[in-house]
Every structure is written in C-alpha cells, then in structure tokens.
Amino acid sequence: MYINFWYPVVAAKDLGVKPQKIRLLSHDFVVFRDEHGHPAVLSDTCTHRGASLAGGKCKGDGTVQCPYHGWRFNSKGECTRIPSVGKQTKPPLRARVDAYPVQEKYGIVFAFLGDLPEDERPPILPIDEHGTPDWRSTLLVFDVDYYYERSIENGLDPAHNEYVHPTHGYQGEREDTYLMTELRPFNTNEWGHGFLSTFDAPPLKNRFTRFFRSEGGKMEAGSGTCGPNHMWTFINFSDKFALHGYMFEAPIDENRTRVFLLTERNTLFFKKGWLTFLNNYLDKKVNERNKVIAGQDIKVMNDVWPRMTPPSRSKELMMPADRAIVQYRDKLNEFEARGWKIDTAALRAARDKGDVVFAIPCPARRSTNAWVLDPTPLIAPKTSMSTASALQAAG
C-alpha cells in the first residue's frame, strides 16, 4: 500500500453532514460535509485522548465535534474549540489532526492520502467521456475479501477471460484462436501502462447483452493503470457499441478492498426524448451485468494463494500475456523507490502493542512539526528485476 495517491472514499450521494468512519490503507478516517456542502476527510483520532471523531457529530460552523470531550475540528484539521478551557482560550497549534486534499469527481469523493504539494501530485485517472452527451455512466460500489493488488492484476490479465467469463470467449474450446501474445501498447503514461488486444468472441445470447453483440467475431479489449489503484478497461463490442470501465480501488487493509466501478457506455441514438426510460433501463442492466462479471472474478480470486503479491517473481511463472502485470509491478517498485510504500509489518507490530496511533502525513506536515500523532512508517526503498528481465526469464 502506498501514500501520495488519490483514493476513493465514498460515493458522493452517500455522504451527508453526519460523519462517517472509513478505513483505508489500514488507517481510520472521518469523512463529512462542511456547512457549505464541501466534503472533508480527516484522520479519525482525536489528539486529546484518542477518541474516534466519526463517533461525534457535525456542528453548524463546519466542524466535527469529538464525542468524548467536545473538541471541534474544521475541514483543515485545526481545532477551533476546546470547551474545558473556555471560548477565550485559543487551542494550541498541536491540537490538530491531519486533513487531506479532497476532490468530488465522477460521483465519488476522493482524498489525496499523502503530503505532496499540489503541483507534484499524481492525477486522478482522467475519464474524457464522462459527462459528455454521447456517453452515460453508472456507478457500482462493492467489497472483496482480497488484497487490492491481486484485484488490479486480475483486471490486467487478458488470458483469464476465456475461462472465467463465459460471455468473453469460447471456454477453451477453440484454442487455435486463443492467442494472447499480441498486446498492443495503449494509453501508457508516467503513472502506468496499458494495452489493447483483439480476440475472437462468441455472440451474446440474452436479450440485454445481444444489444451489444448479436454475432460472433473479432472484439477489441484492453486495460491499463494510473498509479497503484486506478484502472481502466475498454471493451469495444463493435464499431458502434462500447463499454469503458474505470475501477478506483480503496485498499481497506491487506485482506479487504472496496471497489468503485464506474462504467461509461456510448448512448448513440438513445440520448434524450421519449427513449429516456430505455437509458434508465440500460443503466440498471449494466450494473446487474457488472455484478455478474465481478462475481465470476470473486469466485476465483477468493481461492488464489498466496493472498498477497509474492515478494519474488520467481514464485510465479509468468507468460507473455502477463506483460501488463509485470509492468504494473515495475511501477509499484518505482513508487517504493520514491519512499511512498507503507511498512505494513512495522505498522502491524506497533498496533499489536496497542500504545501508538499513526496518521498518514498530510501536506500541512511539511510546514510545521507541531503534531501529536506519529507519521505512518514507510518501507525503505529497494530494487528488483526489471520488466525486460522478468519477461526474458518467463521465456
């Protein structure tokens, strides 16, 4: 798990003035809307006696009030009131909690969990078609009981579709057409790699899916990443119909992940007027279908071992179709080399003792040392096998 990236926190429609506790990167956060309706994300631990701010309530002045002693914290993490010392006494500078940059985008509240200044932050995965007249979106949020890296790698794996998803291939019955050796680089950038591939696909049978592809033939699809936890998947059923999926993954901890799946589909002639009801119907069907596809992946992924990504690539025999996975792991190594990887072993050991609470450092920590909570321990950088070396070793 890594700091200094944008993480999805909550669906925007599900966030009101009541504070919510959200667990991300094995840390607890409180999320709420201030008096202007703007979302705020803070470290959840009150710096007085360690109470959970999410157990309190929001006040009319845009603060969240601690349920233990009534301390109030604004969206900047600053303590604005300590009742026990009176209104005339200004709270000390150290009476503050980490507050994180927030963006409300694509119907999702994102928080930047790290301390980089604004001009150095990696981006939220861009979705050029979102909100345009020719595309329509749906959002589905669900949890899985496995590590987010395994989830991302599953999405980057074109070779599993033939066997895991019955509608994506021929279930291995036509192996002469099942080659995944040509992955064309696509949408590669500073923060991730991507590919497109063309393969034979069967006709879709049920009334809804036949709308996208009623005949068998060539289909184009591919995936790619932006940072450790943002992924796109393009499925081009034909020249006229396409689904673009965007997964924003929130690592809850090492064993659980919350997935925010945004699906964009081209609306074609179903844009407005009396066919609006058809778009609403298709919205429902898209998410129903997404649940089916996700369930097929979850069934397999729940029995993948080891649960975490192996520390050595010699412990998995990679094939050419795994190129995007190897490239993804190389990107993670780059992020680790920057000093952004959380030392989960040190974090777990300290918590087992029960006498310390960590906070992911926010940007304000760069301007002052006046903090109560210790910053999250980060792992020392290390090097590993490059993409070219790994693929050469794979044959």
Model confidence band, residue 169 (pLDDT cutoffs 50, 70, 90): low
* CA proximity to 124, closest of 223, 192, 24: 192
For residue 220, what pLDDT is reported? 84
For residue 394, what pLDDT is reported? 45
| CA end-to-end distance (rounded Å), the chain | 30
CA–CA dist 357, 26 (Å, integer) = 11
CATH of the domain at 237: 3.90.380.10
**Are 81 and 53 found together in one domain?**
yes
Residue 329 lies in a domain: no
Q: Which of 324, 346, 375 is the last residue of a domain?
A: 324
Q: Which of 274, 306, 324 is the last residue of a domain?
A: 324
Q: Which of 324, 342, 374 is the last residue of a domain?
A: 324
CATH of the domain at 75: 2.102.10.10
Provide φ and ψ at 185, rounded to 5°: -55, 135
Residue 335 lies in a domain: no
pLDDT average, residue stretch 212-219: 64
Is 208's pLDDT higher than 90? no
Residue 336 lies in a domain: no
**Are 235 and 98 found together in one domain?**
no
Burial of 356 (0-12, 13-18, 19+ CB in 10 A): exposed
Q: How far is CA 6 from CA 30, 31, 203, 225, 247, in A?
A: 16, 15, 38, 13, 13
Is 380's pLDDT higher than 60? yes
Task: Say how many domains are in the chain.
Answer: 2
Q: Which residues pair with 126 in a beta bridge?
A: none
By residue range, what is the domain housing residue 23?
Answer: 5-120
**Are 144 and 281 found together in one domain?**
yes
Provide φ and ψ at 355, rounded to 5°: -120, 15
Mean pLDDT of the chain: 88
**Are 305 and 208 found together in one domain?**
yes
CA–CA dist 293, 287 (Å, integer) = 10
- pTM for this structure? 0.91
Q: Are 137 and 263 in contact (CB under 8 A)?
A: yes
**Are 88 and 140 found together in one domain?**
no
**Are 16 and 140 found together in one domain?**
no
**Are 145 and 174 found together in one domain?**
yes
pLDDT average, residue stretch 242-270: 91
**Are 148 and 294 found together in one domain?**
yes
Residue 356 lies in a domain: no
Model confidence band, residue 214 (pLDDT cutoffs 50, 70, 90): low
**Are 193 and 222 found together in one domain?**
yes
**Are 231 and 111 found together in one domain?**
no
**Are 280 and 251 found together in one domain?**
yes
Least confident of 50-54, 118-122, 158-162: 158-162
**Are 152 and 30 found together in one domain?**
no
